[in-house]
Amino acid sequence: MIRAGIHGATGYTGHELASILDRHPAVEIAFGTSRQSAGRNLADLYTQGPDLPLIDPSSAPVGEIDFMFLCLPHTEAAPVAVAALDAGARVVDLSADFRLRQAAEFEAWYGEAHPHPEFLSQAVYGLTEIARAQLAGARLVANPGCYPTSVLLALFPLARAGALSGSVIVDAKSGVSGAGRSPKQHLQFVEVAENLSAYSVGRNHRHVPEMEQALAAWTTQPIDLIFTPHLAPVSRGLLSTIYASLREGWDEARVRETIESTYQGEPFIRILPDGQHAALAHAAYTNRCVLGISVVKGVALLTSALDNLVKGAAGQAVQNANVMAGLDETTGLV
Amino acid sequence: MIRAGIHGATGYTGHELASILDRHPAVEIAFGTSRQSAGRNLADLYTQGPDLPLIDPSSAPVGEIDFMFLCLPHTEAAPVAVAALDAGARVVDLSADFRLRQAAEFEAWYGEAHPHPEFLSQAVYGLTEIARAQLAGARLVANPGCYPTSVLLALFPLARAGALSGSVIVDAKSGVSGAGRSPKQHLQFVEVAENLSAYSVGRNHRHVPEMEQALAAWTTQPIDLIFTPHLAPVSRGLLSTIYASLREGWDEARVRETIESTYQGEPFIRILPDGQHAALAHAAYTNRCVLGISVVKGVALLTSALDNLVKGAAGQAVQNANVMAGLDETTGLV
Amino acid sequence: MIRAGIHGATGYTGHELASILDRHPAVEIAFGTSRQSAGRNLADLYTQGPDLPLIDPSSAPVGEIDFMFLCLPHTEAAPVAVAALDAGARVVDLSADFRLRQAAEFEAWYGEAHPHPEFLSQAVYGLTEIARAQLAGARLVANPGCYPTSVLLALFPLARAGALSGSVIVDAKSGVSGAGRSPKQHLQFVEVAENLSAYSVGRNHRHVPEMEQALAAWTTQPIDLIFTPHLAPVSRGLLSTIYASLREGWDEARVRETIESTYQGEPFIRILPDGQHAALAHAAYTNRCVLGISVVKGVALLTSALDNLVKGAAGQAVQNANVMAGLDETTGLV
Amino acid sequence: MIRAGIHGATGYTGHELASILDRHPAVEIAFGTSRQSAGRNLADLYTQGPDLPLIDPSSAPVGEIDFMFLCLPHTEAAPVAVAALDAGARVVDLSADFRLRQAAEFEAWYGEAHPHPEFLSQAVYGLTEIARAQLAGARLVANPGCYPTSVLLALFPLARAGALSGSVIVDAKSGVSGAGRSPKQHLQFVEVAENLSAYSVGRNHRHVPEMEQALAAWTTQPIDLIFTPHLAPVSRGLLSTIYASLREGWDEARVRETIESTYQGEPFIRILPDGQHAALAHAAYTNRCVLGISVVKGVALLTSALDNLVKGAAGQAVQNANVMAGLDETTGLV
């Protein structure tokens, strides 16, 4: 039985992770922490449990666990990760702390010095389908952001094959749980219902450098990325509609064949047949990333749907941990 | 041109009121106040205006206005009302401060001493259709709560006619704007969407004494009131499903005839024909209260729908002011 | 491995049932039928599977199965059930055909003669928690309606204990999936969103006789039942707010103790602690019925939430089949 | 008083139009038609009126009206329009029949021969802000589609100024009322809620030629248009997120200045300040088109929001009629 600890168990991601691990046949949750709700039970904070007593982070028995999952704000996660590594645990960090490889880039986007830049080079960027080989021996995994997961899984086959010609526009729509559980004016029901709004348009969102870093590793073609996230009136789910300019010679058949062959046999990638495109409902409450493919006027028009709390966060974290632990990758996931 | 001031213009009720008054052909908004947003414009806080510079309450030119509307928290409204009365303005108070006639009752339900009990006896409880005669000369009007408006308009004809036999159960469902604009955990989109929940069940909601006080004034029959409000996943609108036990001799025809004759010619009361019942959509964005009528096994089963921000708050406030000012009661309202 | 057939697999209930059985470790789906979609696959009709080829009902190999589940319209289910019984299968009928014990009552409420009144007496009314003993040997089970399940589970302990004094008012709110999958004007998104409406009020809904029949079996006290269902703007979930008049001597402690002791150890009944009431979110996507308890002015105020597609339909059907088959009752259910 | 007739008054657009005209101070509704609901009243079909008896189209007194509004399906509108023109009425056609100038193009996109190609050349394409001069004397106005209105108002200033360099990608999100009132499976509440889906992606939607025709009239630069509409879980509202490649020399300041100067003084165009982008809530229930402007990596990133039933249909129709009749363009509109 793998013993796992969860830091930051009370946010939407922490709760989703605790729920998945609670049903996981090979994992036992050793502890969950919460600064604000220590002493209470996670089941009292949510309408649907699980039963998990919450302890203060300072009293977490870090030495007794095999895996540490971090659902903490950026810059708070890194020191906890380092302490866990020191104590011998393997770490899956769901924060942004180890996603960017350059400390300077982290500082530029997050406005603070990175707490542990010396660990950046050893962290594995955990897009499971792509990083599987490195995950087996990894001790520190940076779990990708929800937007990057949806975008990068769609673009990886094309980027690697040299199909991209430079312009990538991502028009993404996310459910409200992606914005976290802390009460905020613009996340109140009355503000969101019957509304739909763009935010952090262009190149302002912190997931931009994460996507650019990955693309740069897969293709020598410089990419001009434009990214427009929207807040959609749904609780969970994320749909990226991607417009990627193609090099000559890339028609729809070749694009489809490239993507399909890349993901053949992947348990959590579902490629829709010709003429169909992805919707939130294809992926809700599952660890799947569902892809739709068209090519129009030299542009790959890809739709990529996932559940932001599952494949976009907690589900992929467990998928990564399964690989790290040598388990069947689908254990505990649907 | 009537000059009006609005205290507390930035909440949902204040904004709705400002929007109605902004379009009102006989009213000019002299000022709107906000403690937190003084110096800003109401149009910057909402996606749809109106254009209203916000000033600090302390600098409100109370001497220059004819009508003062108060959208303030309870116990904060009363002193402002008294100051406005002293300055010669007429006051429509949308808070709970002057709704209950007994200071002891106020204290029992709101947990604080009433700031100005000496004004309780002169305040008119502004259910417009019922209080019209007193409103003409009123200087201080207590605008009813949203739940009481929906319930009392439905029950008034029966209570006055002696039809009620003692048991009244109100199962009410309210949109989320009724809970105010301040960010709260349980009002976040993710918590409300695809959910529906009872709260303050039985006799715990502060609107209970307000309803009981009115019923006691209309009928000598003691009423056992049970009231269960629910939070519904809609932004605005309020539906009360009312089960009122009837005295012998009251069948559906007589109940219907009594209610219809009471409200004949009322511009804002709409009584649905036999077999139809009220839905939120009947009243949304209007100042109407829409009533459906059945009688089952000796119980009047009434449905009463209104828009909690309009007839349940700002609209009825304007309706009251129209009557106070001798205007056509429907001016500026739909 | 138990072999199961599903008649009417393409409606919301049929799809939910197929999804549950597809994950059920002890069941193999032998076939799913659809009159309109024979030749297609259930996975093509829904965004999320399961993979189930649909055959015409006429070609269903009824002799090869152990269990037949019927998700058919009333009067269509009965002949299919009888044929399945003849062929040796055990039947769980999710339609209304075998819920009422009197053919005359069926005819009065459904407007048609019952196709097989001779089977009414042998059908077990499958409220699992209550009928468990009879289910073990049952060959024909009438799966209860969604509203009756929520109401009867709440009232059973009190009815059986003689606590009810005659008046029961049920104010219920259901998600839209309860109204079926066939396109209808009033179920379109635009009609339902931001709306909430009562329908079939009083004693007009076909679930009324089903509830009265059960109550009559549990208590000698004649019950005046008033039932008001509402259509709520959610996809799934059902909340019944129940007002049941109590006999003298029944205070909140006794009511709570009676309900808690009745359901002690029940895996799918969750009783909320004092001061809490049920919300749709407590039960969504689970087979649970979640109960909240208050007593106010001699009235038991009970809230009862369940997922109309799970505990209110397909989940309870599987729960019943588990008992019938001698499996752990929770197998394949959450 | 202008006398107006409405053909097809019972759809969402027809109802919205009837509601606007019912409040319009200079218009009297002479009649509303419905094939299916003749003999009934529009107020009986909707929760909120207006009071409009519905007559069969064949008995419409076409000779007694000044303006005829057509809310009919394509190919049905044209013959009715021609008959109305013959009878001396001026026509605002909300269908697609007179939007495309080439009969061959109509046939290619709508799959049927155009019923009256001889009228195509005289129809004015009624984007009010742009066609105002021609509208004054127009007898036949083709009211633009909802998507084209949002896209073309955003792009017109840039197209006319020669700013576009060839690639235009439109990622649009529409509320469900845009798909009409007839019950359809994919428009049921359960299918739409908590979902978001792309449809008719690339160049498959019938609004593509309408947009291309207008752009071709404004700029000599050939435009590669890619258009992806999405169905969003809201009842009304439409947001187009537009990515238009710019020629050299066009930075954000110049783009903004060009758009702002084009629409200076326009009552129904609202341009958001720097750093803000359009949301559905900016335009809901108004005749406004609200624009947000950014430039990123040589691409104009424009957001354009409107209410699909108002500025995207009935509101713009009335705006056009106001201009045609020489009234203040804002009469009866908000």
Q: Is the pLDDT of residue D169 over 90?
A: yes
C-alpha A316/C-alpha A333 separation (Å) is 9
| Amino acid in the structure at residue D225 | L
Q: List the Cα angle B303/B307/B312 in 5-degree steps.
A: 90
C-alpha B8/C-alpha B91 separation (Å) is 14
Q: List the Cα angle B63/B68/B69 in 5-degree steps.
A: 155
What the block records as the tokens of C216 is: 């009559």
Q: List the Cα angle B294/B298/B301 in 5-degree steps.
A: 30
Q: Is the pLDDT of residue C49 over 90?
A: no
Do the beta carbons of residue D5 and residue D69 sit within 8 Å?
A: yes
* The three-state (H, E, C) secondary structure of chain D, written as one string: CEEEEEECCCCHHHHHHHHHHHHCCCEEEEEEECCCCCCCEHHHHCCCCCCCEEECHHHCCHHHCCEEEECCCCCCHHHHHHHHHHCCCEEEECCCCCCCCCHHHHHHHHCCCCCCHHHCCCCEECCHHHHHHHHCCCCEEECCCHHHHHHHHHHHHHHHCCCEEEEEEEEEEECHHHHCCCCCHHHEHHHHCCCCEECCCCCCCCHHHHHHHHHHHHCCCCCEEEEEEEECCCCCCEEEEEEEEECCCCCHHHHHHHHHHHCCCCCCEEECCCCCCCEHHHHCCCCCEEEEEEEECCEEEEEEEECCCHHHHHHHHHHHHHHHCCCCCCCCCC
Q: Is the pLDDT of residue C19 over 90?
A: yes
User: Are the beta carbons of A292 and D224 separated by less than 8 Å?
Assistant: no
What the block records as the tokens of D121 is: 């050349």
Strand-pairing partners, residue D289, are: D269, D306
Q: Which residues in chain A have Cβ-Cβ distances shorter than 8 Å to C284?
A: 48
Q: List the Cα angle B48/B52/B56 in 5-degree steps.
A: 130
In angstroms, the separation between the Cα of residue C194 and the nearest Cα of chain B is 5
pLDDT averaged over every residue in chain C: 97
Tens digit of each residue's pLDDT (9 = 90 or more) over D42-84: 999 999 989 999 999 999 999 999 999 999 999 999 999 999 9
Tens digit of each residue's pLDDT (9 = 90 or more) over B258-307: 999 999 999 999 999 999 999 999 999 999 999 999 999 999 999 999 99
C-alpha D225/C-alpha D167 separation (Å) is 6
Tens digit of each residue's pLDDT (9 = 90 or more) over C267-287: 999 999 999 999 999 999 999
Enumerate chain B positions whose Cβ falls within 8 A of a Cβ in D. 47-48, 193-194, 279, 281-282, 284-286
Q: Contact partners of A by the rule of 3+ C-beta pairs under 8 A?
A: B, C, D
In angstroms, the separation between the Cα of residue A322 and the nearest Cα of chain C is 21
> What pLDDT score was predicted for residue A49?
87
**Mean pLDDT of the D143-150 span:** 98
Cβ-based neighbour number of residue A325 at 10 Å? 17
**Mean pLDDT of the C260-264 span:** 98
Residues of chain A whose pLDDT is less than 50? none
State whether residue C327 is helix, strand or coil.
Answer: coil
The DSSP-derived string for B101-126 is S-HHHHHHHHSS--S-GGGTTT-EE-
Nearest to A176 among B175, B190, B236 (CB): B190
Q: List the Cα angle D173/D176/D178 in 5-degree steps.
A: 80
**Tokens 């912190």 found at:** A206
Strand order in the sheet with D54-55: D54-55, D27-33, D2-7, D67-70, D90-93, D140-142, D124-125
A44 contacts: CB under 8 Å, gap ≥ 6: none
Q: Which residues in chain B have Cβ-Cβ distances shorter than 8 Å to C301?
A: 201-202, 226, 228
CA C10 to chain centroid, in Å, comes to 18
Residue D33: name the closest of D53, D62, D4, D57 by CA. D57
Catalytic residue among C17, C124, C146, C318: C146
Do the beta carbons of residue D120 and residue D286 sit within 8 Å?
A: no
Do the beta carbons of residue A324 and residue A141 sit within 8 Å?
A: yes
Do the beta carbons of residue A303 and residue A240 sit within 8 Å?
A: yes
Do the beta carbons of residue D259 and residue D157 sit within 8 Å?
A: yes
Do the beta carbons of residue A287 and residue A311 sit within 8 Å?
A: yes
CA A21 to chain centroid, in Å, comes to 17
B interface test, pick of D47, D195, D234 with most B CB neighbours within 10 Å: D47
Helix axes A146-160, A128-135, angle to 10 degrees: 90
C-alpha B323/C-alpha B317 separation (Å) is 10
C-alpha A140/C-alpha A84 separation (Å) is 10
Tens digit of each residue's pLDDT (9 = 90 or more) over B61-111: 999 999 999 999 999 999 999 999 999 999 999 999 999 999 999 999 999
Catalytic residue among B146, B192, B223, B295: B146
> What pLDDT score was predicted for residue B49?
87
Do the beta carbons of residue B24 and residue B318 sit within 8 Å?
A: yes
CA D112 to chain centroid, in Å, comes to 22
Do the beta carbons of residue B310 and residue B332 sit within 8 Å?
A: no
C-alpha B216/C-alpha B221 separation (Å) is 8
> What pLDDT score was predicted for residue D49?
87
**Mean pLDDT of the C158-182 span:** 97
User: Are the beta carbons of B183 and A188 separated by less than 8 Å?
Assistant: yes
Produce one character per residue of B190-223: b if its CB has 16 or more CB atoms within 10 Å, e if not: bbbbbbbbbbebbbebbbbbbbbbbbeebbeeeb
C-alpha C178/C-alpha C186 separation (Å) is 13
Q: Contact partners of C by the rule of 3+ C-beta pairs under 8 A?
A: A, B, D
Residue C247: name the closest of C314, C282, C299, C305 by CA. C299
For chain C, give percent helix, strand, coil, nearest 5: 35, 25, 40
User: Are the beta carbons of D195 and A297 separated by less than 8 Å?
Assistant: no
For the four alpha carbons of B132, B134, B138 and B142, in that order, the dihedral sign comes to: negative
Strand-pairing partners, residue D224, are: D167
Tens digit of each residue's pLDDT (9 = 90 or more) over C85-95: 999 999 999 99
In angstroms, the separation between the Cα of residue A197 and the nearest Cα of chain D is 4
C-alpha C154/C-alpha C163 separation (Å) is 13
**Total residue count of chain D as it appears in this document:** 334
Nearest to A192 among B175, B189, B194 (CB): B189
CA–CA distances in Å: residue C188 to residues C16, C299, D190: 21, 37, 8
In angstroms, the separation between the Cα of residue C176 and the nearest Cα of chain D is 6
C-alpha A281/C-alpha D195 separation (Å) is 5
User: Are the beta carbons of C237 and B173 separated by less than 8 Å?
Assistant: no
Tens digit of each residue's pLDDT (9 = 90 or more) over A205-232: 999 999 999 999 999 999 999 999 999 9
Do the beta carbons of residue D57 and residue D35 sit within 8 Å?
A: yes
Tens digit of each residue's pLDDT (9 = 90 or more) over D278-306: 999 999 999 999 999 999 999 999 999 99
C-alpha C129/C-alpha B95 separation (Å) is 48
Query: What's the pLDDT band for D224 if we cut at 50, 70, 90?
Result: very high
C-alpha A121/C-alpha A98 separation (Å) is 9
Element spanning C59, H or E: none
pTM greater than 0.80 (yes/no)? yes
**Mean pLDDT of the C289-313 span:** 98
